Amino acid sequence: MNVQRWIATQEPNWKRLDNLLQKAEKKGIKSLSALEIKDLASLYRSVSADLARARTNKVGVTLTQDLQKLTSRSYNQIYQGHHRQEWQAVKEFYLWRFPQLVRENWIYIAIATGIFWLAGIIGWWYAWQDPVFISITVPPSLIHKVRDEGELWMGSIVGIEPLASSGITINNLLVSFAAVAGGITAGIYTMFIMAFNGLSVGVIATLVGQNNLAYPFWAFVFPHGALELPAIFLAGGAGLLIGKAIVFPGKYRRLYALRLNGVKAAQLLFGIVPMLVIAGAIEGFFSPNPFIPNPIKYLVGISLFCSLVSYCNRQHGSGTSPSGGRGTSRTKFGVSAHRGNLGVSSRQKKG
């Protein structure tokens, strides 16, 4: 190989890559245009091949080291930038896409919420009418604690807060996963989970009410329930969304409708995970704390719920979500991608 001719041929590419890297290192990868990012990726592959050739032909230590540095800098910009974009996508999801999903699928969430509270009202009414109904649905140890000792059972959490918090979070996550997965039964199991949990809350509300413990009980529930219960309702809505695709696929083939709604359900589930983690921490450390006055607990619960409602109503300044609106957006490395009607082709539509 003629080394001098090879260097003269390749050196413009090296300089071009160095200039792009300097710009990216000073102003960030986003400062590059789509064409420049494409050139950066192409030149990175070219310089990597040049480095291998330089090592094979032993063209000199200095040149080899320079090419090594150029290759390393390119790698850092391309792949670290890729990871930064992934984290940015997560940030954008929680800032804009998740609230948009909640608004778009409000009817399924409302149905899940309605099933929960309807079952709760039924449980509350039956428990007031027939005390035996309480003994059927509530554990005997809990009934003994409330009726015979005149105390709530939450005091057992005090002293084991970390363990209780993690256990509560895991249990709530399992309930949410089951509610979403229950959609595959045409939503029947999802509705059962909503009804069962609502019924339990209604019966327990009657139990504490009959024993003059309603005020401290709801003071315990309000802080974490402001996030925990809406998260369960969202999971129920996600399950019903899957069930709807099975029972009423609409203009799409059932399998394709299931895929579309399954993606939305998975995104809703992904969105509620932080809500359940925060709720678990509150239920483990804050809600049962005997040193925090009950009015403060009520105030915190109301504030958290109002904040959640405000968050779910947030809309992107441009009127569309960065990850869900119509129009075009830049994907990795600046490639334009059209968003709008989910790219449904005639093969996926009925008829």
Q: Kindly report, residue by residue over 88-97, the tens digit of the pLDDT.
A: 778 888 998 9
Q: Against a cut of 0.85, is the pTM above it?
A: no
The reported pLDDT for the residue numbered 85 is: 61
Taking the C-alpha atoms of residue 218 and residue 220, their distance in angstroms, rounded to an integer, is 5
User: What is the Cα–Cα distance from 246 to 244, expressed in whole angstroms?
Assistant: 5
Residue 105 has pLDDT above 90, yes or no: yes
* Alpha carbon distance 330, 81 (integer Å): 14
Mean pLDDT of the chain: 84
| pLDDT, position 23 | 85
Confidence band, pLDDT 50/70/90 cuts, at residue 347: very low
pLDDT score of 13: 87
> Residue 222 class from Cβ within 10 Å (0-12 exposed, 13-18 middle, 19+ buried)?
buried
Q: What is the pLDDT of residues 215-273, one digit of tens each?
A: 999 999 999 999 999 999 999 999 999 999 999 998 889 899 999 999 999 999 999 99
Q: Which residue has the tokens 């790698």?
A: 75
In 10 A of CB 45, how many CB atoms?
A: 11
Say which amino acid occupies 21.
L
Mean pLDDT confidence for 279-301: 93
From the list 130, 7, 152, 134, the residue with the least C-alpha distance to 67 is 7
Share of the chain above pLDDT 90, in %: 46
pLDDT digits (tens, 9 = 90+) for 190-218: 999 999 999 999 999 999 999 999 999 99
Higher pLDDT, 346 or 115: 115
Give yes or no for a contact between 183 and 263, defined as CB atoms under 8 angstroms apart: no
pLDDT at 329: 40
For residues 179 and 23, the model is more confident at 179
User: Tell me, what DSSP letter sits at residue 349?
Assistant: B
Cβ(242)–Cβ(184) under 8 Å? yes
Is the pLDDT score of 343 beyond 80?
no
Residue 290: the pLDDT is: 87
Nearest to 294 by CA among 213, 214, 216: 216
Token reading at 305: 């719920």
Reported as a single tens digit per residue, the pLDDT across 19-48 is: 888 888 887 777 788 888 888 888 888 888
What are the E-state strand segments in the chain? 327-330, 336-339
Element (H or E) spanning 345, and its range?
none
Residue whose C-alpha is closest to residue 301's, from 205, 199, 227, 246: 227
The per-residue pLDDT for 84 is: 58
**Cα 195 to Cα 197: distance, rounded to the nearest angstrom:** 6
Mean pLDDT, to the nearest integer, of 148-171? Answer: 78
Task: Find the mean pLDDT for residues 60-70.
Answer: 86
Cα 20 to chain centroid distance, Å, stands at 36
Which pLDDT score is estimated for 344? 39
- Between the two ends of the chain, the Cα-to-Cα distance in Å is 63
In the predicted structure, residue 154 carries a pLDDT above the cut 80: no
Question: Residues of 119-147 as b/e, b for ≥16 C-beta within 10 angstroms?
Answer: bbeebbebbbeeeebbeebbeeeebebbe
Two structure tokens written together for 29: 């990868």
Task: Output the pLDDT for position 269.
Answer: 94
Indicate the DSSP class of residue 330. E
Which residues, including other chains, have CB under 8 Å from residue 317's CB and lie 6 or more apart? none
What are the boundaries of each domain within the chain? 3-91, 105-314
